[in-house]
Amino acid sequence: MTKEALLLTIAVLGGTGKEGKGLAYRWAKAGYRVLIGSRSSEKAVKAASEIMELLEGSSSVVGTTNPEAAEQADIIVLTVPYSAHRETLESVKSALKGKILVDVTAPLVPPKLSKVQMPPAGSAAQEAKEILGEEVQVVTAFQNVSHEYLMGEEDVECDVLVTGTSKKARVEVLMLVEATGLTGWDAGPIENSVVVEGLASVLININRLYGSKHAGIRITGVPNQAIEST
Amino acid sequence: MTKEALLLTIAVLGGTGKEGKGLAYRWAKAGYRVLIGSRSSEKAVKAASEIMELLEGSSSVVGTTNPEAAEQADIIVLTVPYSAHRETLESVKSALKGKILVDVTAPLVPPKLSKVQMPPAGSAAQEAKEILGEEVQVVTAFQNVSHEYLMGEEDVECDVLVTGTSKKARVEVLMLVEATGLTGWDAGPIENSVVVEGLASVLININRLYGSKHAGIRITGVPNQAIEST
């Protein structure tokens, strides 16, 4: 457990879904206090106890509603499908002031999931920024990591590209990425989110054409993965 | 030399630049007939003889003007800087009818090269499609491969994502990627070009922050890289 983990509470909104549950599991395992948020607090409580069981009680995971989870947390992670993106953000907006929102949404539009189709704001993350205003730091991460990897114990063969509204917020989220056991990279300003979110469609296309299930990406050619945190 | 190589002539417009020369070198080495195009035919002839010298005369590389090269080739590869993108395309438009244009352009806008800034069409490739009309297949590739890799002999640690206006055209270009010794992936329709072109800015950001020079990407988690060509 890191010193930082002791200080931070992470809310995972939509944490009853596969991706959210996988992330919550990884952070709880790393020693963070985790709140699972859902529209139904009953489902959230159930998901939280499932994770606690997997970790044999050595962790702190609590289930509650999305607004309650956002209220109590320092960092809020959004893992709902794109169709619930705006509605969920509006329901927790007042609780996010002065905090970091980690947006895991890839704005996939059925039926053409393998075609990049961004909202008018440019990306889901930029849309979140428009909804939330200047008082919230918006960062993107984890769109392209398969939930099966997160719940497993094996090495995750997918790097995490992190974009966001400030370098400070990106560096904080890079520490959360590290806590999950994955490799994160500062991929630049929020305007670059289209690349990270759009990669989801590219990887879906590759899975479909090449008969794979968990296509991911790795950054190559960088000898030293350390980044200055100041 | 493949059977296919004997049949195809590739024009590399802007082939006197580093990226274009690197690609021309790789294709000439693989046995393709290559035309180097430039605004100045004198510079093109010089670049062509430099490549011939490197390959010790065992190849066919000819330098000429951009329109002449486009006229004589089966597949045309555009490697000019974004500032010359529109002008070059308009100068060769009539010669491209019924052919494939491989657009290598990443629309970087100084001074913020590490920030994704796409043209109104959505990407440089979609802009090319608007300029060229329905009679030309537009495909993107090679934006993120460092030219130093192309002129060297070592393994290139960067995969090539290929997007384009038709699957048939993407498959043809994937064969050209294979001929360079790199690994290519069908990354879907032309609308996905924003991801491939935008990655250039993400990789520039990573190079700047992590002190690297040749950040690239690899696709992971796909056991079988073969794609059906029909």
A57 touches chain B (CB under 8 A): no
Question: Does position A225 have pLDDT exceeding 80, yes or no?
Answer: no
pLDDT of residue B229: 44
Residue at token pair 């190849």:
B59
Rounded distance, CA A134 to CA A97, Å?
A: 9
Residue at token pair 């494939």:
B100
pLDDT of residue A184: 97
Q: How far is A41 from chain B (nearest CA, A)?
A: 35
A108 touches chain B (CB under 8 A): no
Handedness of CA B42, B47, B50, B55 (dihedral sign): negative
CB contact under 8 A, B188 and A157: no
| Chain B residue with minimum CA distance to A224 | B210
CB contact under 8 A, A222 and B215: yes
Which of B189, B221, B227 has its CB closest to that of A215? Answer: B221
Rounded distance, CA A13 to CA A84, Å?
A: 11
Provide the mean pLDDT of chain A.
93
pLDDT, tens digit, for every residue of A98-151? 999 999 999 999 999 999 999 999 999 999 999 999 999 999 999 999 888 888
pLDDT along chain B (230 residues), means of 10: 68 95 95 96 96 88 97 97 96 97 96 96 98 97 88 84 98 96 97 98 96 94 67
Cβ–Cβ pairs < 8 A, chains A and B: 145
Q: Which three-class secondary structure state does DSSP give residue A187?
A: strand
pLDDT of residue B107: 96
Handedness of CA A166, A171, A175, A180 (dihedral sign): positive
Overall pTM > 0.80? yes
CB contact under 8 A, B116 and A212: no
Question: Could you tell me the two tokens for A180?
Answer: 């999950």
CB contact under 8 A, A202 and B223: no
- Among residues A102, A116, A117, A105, which one has the least CA distance to residue A81? A105
CB contact under 8 A, B222 and A212: yes
Q: How far is CA A181 from the centre of its chain?
A: 14
Rounded distance, CA B132 to CA B97, Å?
A: 8
**Chain A residues whose beta carbon lies within 8 Å of the beta carbon of residue B210:** 185, 222, 224-227
pLDDT of residue B4: 56
pLDDT, tens digit, for every residue of A153-202? 777 789 999 999 999 999 999 999 999 999 999 999 999 999 999 999 99
pLDDT of residue A148: 80
Banded model confidence at residue A3, pLDDT cuts 50, 70, 90: low
| Chain A residue with minimum CA distance to B224 | A210
pLDDT of residue A118: 97
Q: Which helix (H) or strand (E) holds B171?
A: helix B167-180
pLDDT, tens digit, for every residue of B52-89? 999 987 789 999 999 999 999 999 999 999 999 999 99
CB contact under 8 A, B202 and A215: no
Q: How far is CA A43 from the centre of its chain?
A: 19
| Chain A residue with minimum CA distance to B226 | A210
Banded model confidence at residue A2, pLDDT cuts 50, 70, 90: low
Q: How far is A163 from chain B (nearest CA, A)?
A: 9
Amino acid at B51: I
Residues 174 to 203 of B: which have CB under 8 A from any A CB? 185-189, 191-192, 194-196, 198-199, 201-203
Mutate to test the interface with B, among A154, A190, A205, A230 (most CBs of B within 10 A): A205
pLDDT of residue A229: 44
Which of A114, A188, A222 has its CB closest to that of B202? Answer: A188
- Among residues B61, B56, B14, which one has the least CA distance to residue B34? B61
B141 touches chain A (CB under 8 A): no
Instruction: Burial-class residue B90 by CB neighbours within 10 Å (0-12, 13-18, 19+).
Output: exposed
Mutate to test the interface with A, among B201, B222, B227 (most CBs of A within 10 A): B222
The answer to whether B210 and A224 have CB atoms below 8 angstroms apart is yes
pLDDT of residue A147: 83
CB contact under 8 A, B195 and A201: yes
Mutate to test the interface with A, among B148, B195, B213 (most CBs of A within 10 A): B195
A115 touches chain B (CB under 8 A): yes
Q: How far is B219 from chain A (nearest CA, A)?
A: 5
Mutate to test the interface with B, among A115, A159, A199 (most CBs of B within 10 A): A199
Q: Which three-class secondary structure state does DSSP give residue B37?
A: strand
Rounded distance, CA B70 to CA B76, Å?
A: 6
The answer to whether A205 and A114 have CB atoms below 8 angstroms apart is yes
Rounded distance, CA B209 to CA B212, Å?
A: 8
Rounded distance, CA B163 to CA A28, Å?
A: 39
- Among residues B110, B136, B119, B188, which one has the least CA distance to residue A114? B188
B111 touches chain A (CB under 8 A): no
Which of A195, A221, A227 has its CB closest to that of B214? Answer: A221
